[in-house]
């Protein structure tokens, strides 16, 4: 009798959690670029696209870009998908890979299932061609079944070979990763990539967490292409632009070369 009522309670909780998850995903999908996206938002992504294109002048062939951040919820997955869509709109062939095997989200944001993905390929259970999907003008590979050892899988030789193989077919590959404050998955496969983009969320990401993330990337010899300030309050930025009298502040804050950012940081803090 007691067991029965406990089960009923559990069922109710599961139903409530599922309902909340559905609502969360629905709101989240509105942040993925589409027909209803404002011109200002589209323009922001286009300017990031231009900056990324110009930040890799010596690269030939496919550019492999890791999108990461210091903390959970900074907007890595959203930015990763939106950047891919923006590059797709410029006629580039783009692939997004969900490397966040601990908390995979790409399949939810793009409305697909996650039955077979990256982990299945790395474990040898699926062929890469079977797991590549296409939506919103971008190709994507979901994380796949959640494995016990995501870090080992991502740093394996199989991952290296997979990136090499995929690089032959795409202009850009974006890798969505977990937050650096929790796991270092983003730095485990850095040897194969062109650069890293760090996301920081306005009024959310902690300053010392960003510093720790930058240290981790510097230690791993990563090429940090720049920072993206996500969820920025344009009113506040306009105010600061007026206050500082030129656009250095906005420029160094939004998106910039890492070394430049480091040199300028003291001036504007």
Q: Which residues bind Mg ion (CB under 5 A)?
A: 76-77, 105
3-state secondary structure of 228: strand
Q: Quick one: which segment of 4-12, 66-74, 143-151, 244-252 binds ligand ATP (CB under 6 A)?
A: 66-74
Pick the closest to residue 82 from 56, 113, 106, 53 (CA basis): 106
Interface with ligand ATP: number of residues (CB under 6 A): 16
Pick the closer one to ligand ATP by CB: 90 or 103.
103
Q: Which of 65, 60, 127, 72 is nearest to 96 (CA)?
A: 65
User: What is the C-alpha to C-alpha distance for residues 8 and 27, in angstroms, rounded to an integer?
Assistant: 29
Instruction: Tell the smallest beta-carbon distance from residue 46 to Mg ion (Å).
Output: 23
**Least separation in angstroms between CB 66 and ligand ATP:** 13
Q: Which does 120 bind (CB under 5 to 8 A by kind): Mg ion, ligand ATP, none?
A: none
34 binds ligand ATP (CB under 6 A): no
Do residues 105 and 150 make contact, with C-beta atoms less than 8 angstroms apart?
A: no
Helix spans in the chain (H): 2-29, 39-55, 76-89, 106-109, 118-122, 128-131, 150-154, 157-167, 185-188, 207-219, 234-244, 248-254, 258-268
Q: Which does 31 bind (CB under 5 to 8 A by kind): ligand ATP, Mg ion, none?
A: ligand ATP
Q: How far apart are CA 39 and CA 78, in angstroms?
A: 17
Using CB atoms, what's the residue nearest to Mg ion? 77
Pick from 67, 68, 24: nearest CA to 182: 68
Segment interacting with ligand ATP (CB under 6 A) among 69-77, 148-156, 163-171, 218-226? 69-77
- In the complex, the smallest distance separating the C-beta of residue 127 from Mg ion, rounded to whole angstroms, is 26
Are 117 and 131 in contact by the 8 Å Cβ rule? The answer is yes
Does position 205 interact with ligand ATP (CB under 6 A)? The reply is: no
Minimum distance, C-beta of residue 144 to ligand ATP, in the bound complex (Å): 16
Residues 169-188 contacting ligand ATP, CB under 6 A: 179
77 near ligand ATP, judged by CB under 6 A: yes
Chain contacts with ligand ATP (rule: CB under 6 A): 28, 31, 69, 72-78, 100, 103, 105, 179, 230-231
């Amino acid at each position: 009798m007691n067991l029965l009522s406990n089960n009923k309670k559990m069922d109710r909780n599961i139903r409530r959690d599922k309902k909340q998850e559905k609502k969360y995903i629905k709101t989240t999908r509105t942040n993925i670029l589409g027909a209803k996206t404002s011109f200002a938002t589209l323009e922001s992504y286009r300017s990031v696209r231009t900056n990324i294109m110009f930040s890799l002048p010596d690269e030939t062939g496919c550019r492999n870009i890791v999108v990461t951040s210091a903390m959970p919820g900074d907007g890595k997955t959203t930015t990763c998908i939106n950047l891919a869509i923006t590059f797709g709109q410029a006629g580039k062939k783009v692939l997004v890979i969900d490397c966040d095997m601990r908390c995979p989200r790409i399949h939810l944001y793009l409305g697909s299932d996650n039955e077979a993905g990256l982990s299945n390929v790395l474990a040898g259970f699926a062929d890469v061609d079977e797991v590549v999907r296409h939506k919103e003008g971008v190709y994507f590979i979901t994380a796949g079944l959640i494995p016990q050892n995501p870090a080992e899988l991502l740093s394996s030789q199989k991952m290296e070979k997979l990136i090499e193989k995929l690089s032959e077919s795409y202009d850009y590959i974006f890798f969505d990763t977990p937050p650096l404050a929790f796991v270092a998955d983003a730095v485990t496969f850095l040897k194969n990539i062109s650069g890293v983009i760090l996301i920081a969320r306005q009024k959310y990401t902690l300053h010392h967490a960003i510093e720790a993330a930058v240290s981790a990337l510097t230690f791993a010899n990563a090429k940090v292409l720049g920072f993206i300030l996500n969820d920025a309050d344009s009113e506040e930025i306009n105010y600061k632009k007026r206050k500082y009298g030129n656009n250095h502040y906005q420029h160094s804050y939004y998106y910039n070369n890492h070394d430049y950012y480091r040199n300028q940081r003291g001036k504007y803090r």
